[in-house]
């Protein structure tokens, strides 16, 4: 069965620290991958997406993710986090049929 897993449930960092959030997916074939973010009191917003091509994808607010097919991974990175990055981050994957499978989410807390 298709699934997406996020191994870090809660990450706590100081401002300016580097961030890497793990995401693994469990299915083969054509895969579309996404990272969504939910800031406190707001709805899910798209950070970045991967369909094909360059495995290094850049998104909004300085975030990027790398698709590594051999590791079934799509980790999210940011070189220097800010207090305003405090939010819950969700990795999601799907096939060309459109249904998305979400991970459990990672709560990121950034201390000023």
Partner 1 sequence: DAGVTQSPTHLIKTRGQQVTLRCSPKSGHDTVSWYQQALGQGPQFIFQYYEEEERQRGNFPDRFSGHQFPNYSSELNVNALLLGDSALYLCASSLLAGGRETQYFGPGTRLLVL
- Residue 112 DSSP SS3: coil
- Cα 29–chain centre separation: 20
Stretch 53-112 residues interacting with partner 1 (CB under 8 A): 90, 92, 94-105
Number of helices (H) and strands (E) in the chain: give both, helices first: 0, 12
Closer Cβ to partner 1, 52 or 70, answer by number: 52
Q: Which of 30, 80, 82, 84 binds partner 1 (CB under 8 A)?
A: 30
Separation of alpha carbons 101 and 91, rounded Å: 8
Q: Which of 26, 45, 84, 109 binds partner 1 (CB under 8 A)?
A: 45
The footprint of partner 1 (CB under 8 A) covers: 4, 30, 32, 34, 36, 42-46, 49, 51, 90, 92, 94-105
């Amino acid at each position: 069965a298709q699934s997406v897993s996020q191994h870090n449930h809660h990450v706590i960092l100081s401002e300016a620290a580097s961030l890497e959030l793990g995401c693994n997916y469990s299915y083969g074939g054509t895969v579309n991958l996404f990272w969504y973010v939910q800031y406190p009191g707001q709805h899910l917003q798209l950070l970045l997406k991967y369909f094909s091509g360059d495995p290094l994808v850049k998104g909004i607010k300085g975030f990027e993710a790398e698709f590594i097919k051999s590791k079934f991974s799509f980790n999210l990175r940011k070189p220097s986090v800010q207090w305003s990055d405090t939010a819950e981050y969700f990795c999601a994957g799907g096939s060309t049929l459109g249904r998305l499978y979400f991970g459990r989410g990672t709560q990121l807390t950034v201390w000023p």
